[in-house]
Chain A
Amino acid sequence: MARSVGFNLLQVLFVVALAPLASGVLSRLKEIVQSRRGPSIFQPYRDLRKLFNKDEVVSEHASWIFRFTPYVVFVAPIFVTTLIPVLTNYPLFFAFMGDMLGGGFVLALGGFFATLAAVDTANPYGAMGASRTRMVGFLAEPVFMIVFFTVSFVAGSTIPYIVQQHWVTPLTNFFAPSHVLLVIAFIMLILAEAGRIPVDNPAGHFELAMIDESKSLEYSGPGMALMKWGGQMKLLVLICILLNVLVTPWGLAGGRSTAEVLLAAPLVLFKVGIFLLVLVVIESSFAKLRLFRVSEFLGAAFVTSVVAMITGLLSF
């Protein structure tokens, strides 16, 4: 029992501590692929430290929402972490507090507050980014729904720990069309949801073309640090859901000893690294889509998920 709670906290610690590293590795890999020289993979940590040591400036017109939002954005991924398998392939203490749908709602809560906060300061870019984020969100929502329902129908459960076992028992399930197509649809969703190319350019500095970034333009100091950290954790959590729940449970700790769980950490990190490499390839080989083409991209994701549903459900 205590051990279970401990492992759960360990998972949270894993995500909180290593999310900046994942994002650092991602940008470093991208720079290597594009033959540029970039900062070290620990740069995100330095950025965070710098931001925490700075003063925060808040507009006097801003309401409590603006102040409150960074905490929500920071905490939401942590809550989700307690629900999903990050290091172990058996359910931990909090695993039954909510299913995948619940996790999705908690993540969406963070996004919701970020959007409100962006409008709150009356900065024109904030409102623009907020409306764009909502547009992407509206288009991504049906895909999310279909992916979740298909997954839960095919696997017979909405609890992520049970779902992940389904894909490999028996192993032929791994090659089932519904599984592969769901994974593709979910990758497209991650790209949209985490604001990566081809939907949004996270490294862009041109306010007019921003979608996600423009929402945090008004933040400074610790608030900004929390927003950034929260964003990085969200990406890592989404990747963990993809890799551990949808793709494979391989590399996760099966036993209950502390050593095994600790050993799982580098293995999971390795998996994440491989996925980051895929992400880099995607980001380097596509150009950012024009804003109104985003609907086509998500339309493709929608079609993929529906085809997964059809092949999964109707062939039974």
Chain B
Amino acid sequence: MANSNALLTSLNGLAAGLFLMSSFGLAATRQMQGCLRFYITQSICLVVSALLLGLGLHAPDLLAVAVLDAVVKPIVIPVLLRRTVPEAVFRRREIAQVLNIPSSLLIALALTLLAYFLSGYLPPATGSLASINLPVGLAGLFIGVYTLTVRREAVPQLIGIFGIENGALLCGFAIASGLPLVIEMAFPFDMLIIALVIGILTRMTHERVGTTEVGGFTSLREGIGK
């Protein structure tokens, strides 16, 4: 029993580590496709972590969530984005970004360290099995916020939002297992609507303005310049 638990801890740590790596990918990759792929990897790590925690903590609700998330996050949302967002947007490489990649990586690293120190302010994880989820999830959240601020393109910004949500959920699995199923189901459903609405918004913007580089939108600024 102790042995299998150690294995679960290791595997869960691995999922968390890869989760963190894909967060870095979200913040630093140049290509639109790559960004989406990193999001899918991150979601798969999230699902795997939920599965392992469900097994290790004997929490059937986490298993149910894992199954639900496995369908919604890495499969339905990317497909939805593919269908709503025009293909031309995805074909773009070399997406503009405010800061260059090495400095982005370093900032993301700094945020990770910050997350490690701040994770003590969250409620303790249920069982040492899940303790790695706290700092890593918090780091994913921070890096998602960072991605959102430095990205200038519509789809990577959206994926940054998903990154924040994934980070919050990775933490959440560790501290708040046993949520009523209605609520657990609300989260992925919520993400689904967000993907749909923002996907449509991206298409409208693409049709109307001809670009999805939302960072370049500056017509609405405070009056002094105008």
Interface positions of A (Cβ within 8 A of B): 170-178, 180-181, 295-296, 299-300, 302-304, 306-308, 310-311, 314-315
Besides A172-B3, A306-B112, 5 new A-B residue pairs in contact (Cβ under 8 A), listed by A number: A171-B7, A172-B6, A180-B18, A315-B131, A315-B132
| A311 in complex: contacting residue of B13, B102, B113, CB < 8 Å | B13
Q: Are B105 and A315 in contact (CB under 8 A)?
A: no
The residues of B with any CB-CB pair to A shorter than 8 Å are 3, 6-7, 9-11, 13-14, 16-18, 20-21, 24, 28, 101-102, 105-106, 108-109, 112-113, 116, 131-132, 135-136
Say whether B102 contacts A295, CB under 8 Å. yes
Expressed in whole angstroms, the Cα–Cα distance for A174 and B6 within the complex equals 11
The answer on a CB contact under 8 Å between A307 and B101 is no
- A314 to B136 CA separation, bound complex (whole angstroms): 11
Whether A311 touches B16, Cβ cut-off 8 Å, given contacts A172-B10, A181-B21, A304-B21, is: yes
Contacts of A173 in B (CB 8 A): 10
Question: What are the 3 closest A-B residue pairs judged by CB atoms, nearest first?
Answer: A177-B17, A175-B10, A177-B13
Chain A residue, CB-CB nearest to B115: A310
Asked if residues B3 and A170 are in contact (CB atoms below 8 Å), the reply is: yes
Measured CA separation A300–B41 after assembly (Å): 16
CB contact between A303 and one of B16, B24, B113, B132 (< 8 Å): that residue: B24
Give the docked Cα–Cα distance between A306 and B116 (Å). 13
B42 to chain A, nearest CB (A): 13
Q: How far is the CA of A173 from the CA of B9 in the complex (A)?
A: 10
Chain B residue at smallest Cβ distance from A308: B17
CB pair A299 B16 closer than 8 Å: no
Interchain CB contact under 8 A, B10 and A307:
no
Q: Which B residues lie within 8 Å of A177 (CB)?
A: 10, 13-14, 16-18, 132
**Contact between A299 and B20 (Cβ–Cβ < 8 Å)?**
no
Complex: chain B residue closest to A173, CB-CB: B10
| CB proximity of B43 to chain A, nearest CB, Å | 18
Does the CB pair A311–B17 fall under 8 Å?
Answer: yes
Q: Are B3 and A296 in contact (CB under 8 A)?
A: no
Complex Cα distance A156/B85, Å?
51
Interchain CA distance A264-B105 in the complex, whole Å? 42
Chain B CB count within 10 A is highest, among A175, A177, A315, for A177
CB–CB B14/A175 < 8 A: yes
Would B13 and A176 count as touching, CB distance under 8 A? Answer: yes
* A180→B14 contact, CB < 8 A: yes
Interface of A is mostly: helix
Residues of chain A within 8 A (CB-CB) of B108 are 303
User: Which of A178, A304, A307 is the one whose CB lies under 8 Å from B112?
Assistant: A307
Which chain A residues border B17 with CB–CB below 8 Å?
177-178, 180-181, 307-308, 311
Is there an interface contact between A172 and B105, defined as CB atoms closer than 8 Å? Answer: no
From B10, B18, B109, B113, contact of A176 by CB (8 A): B10
Q: Chain B residues near A307 (CB, 8 Å)?
A: 17, 20-21, 24, 112
Give the chain B neighbours of A175 by CB distance below 8 A. 7, 10-11, 13-14
Partner of A306, one of B7, B14, B102, B109: B109
Residues of B near A170 (CB, < 8 A) are: 3, 6
Nearest chain B CB to A175 CB, angstrom units: 4
- In the bound assembly, the distance between CA atoms of A172 and B116 in angstroms comes to 24
Q: How far apart are the CA atoms of A303 and B135 in the complex, in Å? A: 16
In Å, the complex CA distance between A69 and B49 comes to 52
Q: Which residue of B lies closest to A176 (CB)?
A: B10
> Does B13 contact A315, Cβ atoms closer than 8 Å?
yes
* Cα separation A174 to B9 with both chains bound (whole Å): 12
Output the nearest chain B residue to A307 by Cβ-Cβ distance: B20
Identify 14 residue pairs between A and B in the complex whose beta-carbon atoms are under 8 Å apart, listed by A's number: A174-B10, A175-B13, A176-B14, A177-B17, A296-B105, A299-B105, A300-B24, A303-B24, A303-B108, A306-B112, A307-B17, A310-B112, A311-B20, A311-B136
- Nearest-CB distance from B128 to chain A (Å)? 9
A178 to B16, CA, bound (A): 11
CA distance A170 to B5 in the complex (A): 12
Q: How far is the CB of A178 from chain B (nearest CB, A)?
A: 8
Q: Residue of A at shortest CB range from B128? A: A315
CB distance from A149 to the nearest CB of B (A): 16
Min C-beta distance of A260 to chain B, whole Å: 30
The CA-CA distance from A310 to B119 in the complex, in Å, is 13
> Which of B9, B16, B106 contacts A172, CB < 8 Å?
B9
